[in-house]
């Protein structure tokens, strides 16, 4: 039996859920989990339905035969194979905690991804990456060579078949052209609970202001620096008797967890863009287990 999901966005209107569930039932598909959301402000409808194709109906047939229904309701609807692992390129600079975490989670099957390449503007993690049998690409980036460097990066991303790019503390601002080329498929981890304390040394800014909570934010990359649609956030409580270095240590743990959860949500097609915001459906029961077994 094929294990698939269908993601749907369209204008909110009556009868959409019934139409989708009726179509799947008619194709001998058994719905395992379904989430939906009507945004009253944008009048948009979002739905993700996971199902088993008990008659071994192919993904191509499901997509093809649903096309007339999608056209009738003005839907953007895509069928996905839940066993498919997403090809990912990771970009990193000199902070390796997120990279290490993603390498480990991928190795044990906690993330449904294949890391097909790592790109860095430093050589610090070359040995680590090569020891995981993953191609490592060192591309030095300066103000003078940035267009050429980004062209090299985009070529690697294209040739590797990457479906997602992850900025795992990659400390370079992407050009508007690169942001547009990777629109909707690049996730950044920001070492702050946006929108507060942007820029350099956010933990030191937080310490100087005496904050009691610090956090991290994973968001899609756009040309507006650190303003992309937010996918995942988390916080941790701190106190006056901790140093900025303590904040950094605690913050790195939060960053790693938030980034992993954002990638997990994206890989399982649980994230929907909604203007400058996102709709993120909760993980279905067994999704982490299915990642390990998929």
List residues with catalytic annotation: 226
Closest listed residue to residue 6, CA positions, set 37, 53, 50, 70: 50
The Cα-based distances of 147 to 99, 120, 141, 154, 156 in angstroms read 25, 16, 9, 11, 14
CA atoms within 13 A on the CB side of 86: 24
Residue 18: Cβ within 10 Å count: 9
Whole-angstrom Cα distance, residue 226 to residue 205?
A: 17
Q: How far is Cα 6 from Cα 32, in angstroms, rounded to an integer?
A: 12
Q: CA distances (Å), 217 to each of 39, 44, 127, in order?
A: 23, 25, 28
1 with 54: CB under 8 angstroms? yes
């Amino acid at each position: 039996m094929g294990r698939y999901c269908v993601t749907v966005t369209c204008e909110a209107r009556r009868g959409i859920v019934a139409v989708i569930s009726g179509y799947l039932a008619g194709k001998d598909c058994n719905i395992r989990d379904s989430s939906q959301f009507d945004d009253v402000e944008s009048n948009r409808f979002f739905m993700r339905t996971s199902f088993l194709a008990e008659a071994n109906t192919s993904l191509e047939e499901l997509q093809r035969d649903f096309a007339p229904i999608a056209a009738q309701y003005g839907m953007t609807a895509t069928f996905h194979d839940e066993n498919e692992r997403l090809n990912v390129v990771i970009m990193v600079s000199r902070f390796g905690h997120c990279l290490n975490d993603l390498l480990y989670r991928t190795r044990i099957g906690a993330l449904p991804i294949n890391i097909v390449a790592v790109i860095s503007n430093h050589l610090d993690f070359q040995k680590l990456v090569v020891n995981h049998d993953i191609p490592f690409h060192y591309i030095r980036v300066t103000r003078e060579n940035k267009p050429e460097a980004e062209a090299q990066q985009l070529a690697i991303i294209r040739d590797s078949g990457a479906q997602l790019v992850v900025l795992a503390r990659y400390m370079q601002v992407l050009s508007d052209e690169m942001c547009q080329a990777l629109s909707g498929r690049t996730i950044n981890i920001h070492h702050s609970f946006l929108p507060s304390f942007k820029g350099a040394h956010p933990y030191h800014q937080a310490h100087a202001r005496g904050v009691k909570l610090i956090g991290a934010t994973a968001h899609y990359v756009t040309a507006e620096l650190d303003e992309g649609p937010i996918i995942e956030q988390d916080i941790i409580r701190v106190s006056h008797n901790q140093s900025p270095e303590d904040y950094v240590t605690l913050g790195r743990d939060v960053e790693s967890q938030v980034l992993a959860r954002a990638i997990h949500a994206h890989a399982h097609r649980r994230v929907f863009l909604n203007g400058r915001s996102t709709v993120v459906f909760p993980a279905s029961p067994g999704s982490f287990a299915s990642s390990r077994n998929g």
